[in-house]
Chains A and B, each alone.
Chain A
Amino acid sequence: EIVLTQSPATLSLSPGERATLSCRASQSVSSYLAWYQQKPGQAPRLLIYDVSNRATGIPARFSGSGSGTDFTLTISSLEPEDFAVYYCQQRYNWPLTFGGGTKVEIK
């Protein structure tokens, strides 16, 4: 099973600041890495797939980068609605796995 480790666990930032979230895989997942956003009491929402492709309706302030085992989700300027938990997910092989999540909270 591929283990995804996200860091930091919590990121405390102010609106307008840049957020940088990390996801590290226990083995290469090639470019098969996605990111999801989850707000309290809601189901997750797909943000980015295959490292850097934004899903429909996702604002351009969300971007992804990386390859192999190290990946980054960047939110260029935090909006109030961006404070949430973010999960990375690999689809390289089964079982599909998620990282433990990074909570982006208001400082």
Chain B
Amino acid sequence: EVQLVESGGGLVQPGGSLRLSCAASGFTFSSYWMHWVRQAPGKGLVWVSRIDGDGSSKNYADSVGGRFTISRDNAKNTLYLQMNSLRAEDTAVYYCARPHPYSSSLAGWWGQGTLVTVSS
């Protein structure tokens, strides 16, 4: 069974940093692109970043480019999101997602999410 468990969220001041983790199990982690998607309180879904199976290809939304870094450790079956220079508008639940087998750009499995609150 595919399982994704995010951690690392919390309260951080504007300008601060946070690293999110997503522990994956139940599938061959290194074979899949992985994604981060966020959802501000009461708002819609926004794709944040994605990374290919060996970590060589990465994409970011314009709103986080230059501040966030996606990475993965295939030996630990773990996905990361390093978030620097955080802003109030980064406040959201952050989900990691594994693609559906049909396409690497469809989110077939989701974690439960971890809440990041940026506030002084």
Q: How large is the interface on A (under 10, 10 to 19, 20 to 34, 35 or more residues)?
A: 20 to 34
Dominant SS among interface residues on chain B: strand
Instruction: Give bound CA distance, A43 to B47, whole Å.
Output: 14
Q: B45 and A91: CB pair below 8 A?
A: no
Question: Does A59 count as interface, using CB distance less than 8 angstroms?
Answer: no
Dominant SS among interface residues on chain A: loop
With A43-B95, A43-B110: A91-B105 Cβ-Cβ less than 8 Å: yes
Q: B103 and A91: CB pair below 8 A?
A: yes
Question: Does A98 count as interface, using CB distance less than 8 angstroms?
Answer: yes
Count contacts on B: residues with CB < 8 A to the other chain: 20
Question: Does A101 count as interface, using CB distance less than 8 angstroms?
Answer: yes
Question: Does B15 count as interface, using CB distance less than 8 angstroms?
Answer: no
Q: B100 and A55: CB pair below 8 A?
A: yes
The chain B residue sitting closest to A45, CB to CB, is: B110
Question: Does A36 count as interface, using CB distance less than 8 angstroms?
Answer: yes
Excluding A38-B45, A99-B44, 14 further A-B contacts by CB distance (< 8 Å) are: A32-B105, A34-B106, A43-B95, A44-B45, A44-B107, A44-B110, A45-B110, A46-B100, A46-B107, A55-B108, A89-B107, A95-B62, A96-B47, A101-B45
